[in-house]
């Protein structure tokens, strides 16, 4: 009788749990509403423009602080 309770409370093996997780994941992915390709291109373009703008701002600040440091140390 003690052996029967051990097998009831035992988790399924690792491969079955991973397989169940993959099955669950793929069933969720089937329900996802994917964006159209043109929408993906537009939003990617917006992200690239924003990243480039921040790159310019940070580079400008870095250059300005570097020049300020040179002016202070060479004075």
Contact 52, 59 (CB under 8 A): no
46/54 Cα distance (integer angstroms): 12
pLDDT of residue 13: 87
pLDDT of residue 5: 57
pLDDT of residue 31: 92
- What is the number of structural domains in the chain? 1
Structural domain of 60: 2-74
44/23 Cα distance (integer angstroms): 30
> In the chain, where does DSSP find H-type helix?
2-9, 14-30, 37-74
* pTM: predicted TM-score of the whole model, two decimal places: 0.57
Residue ranges of the chain whose pLDDT lies below 70: 1-9
């Amino acid at each position: 009788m003690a052996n029967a309770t051990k097998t009831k409370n035992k988790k399924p093996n690792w491969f079955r749990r991973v397989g169940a997780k993959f099955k669950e994941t793929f069933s969720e992915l089937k329900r996802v509403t994917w964006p159209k390709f043109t929408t993906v291109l537009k939003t990617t373009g917006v992200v690239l423009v924003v990243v480039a703008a921040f790159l310019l701002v940070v580079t400008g600040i870095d250059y300005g602080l570097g020049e300020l440091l040179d002016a202070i140390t060479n004075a």
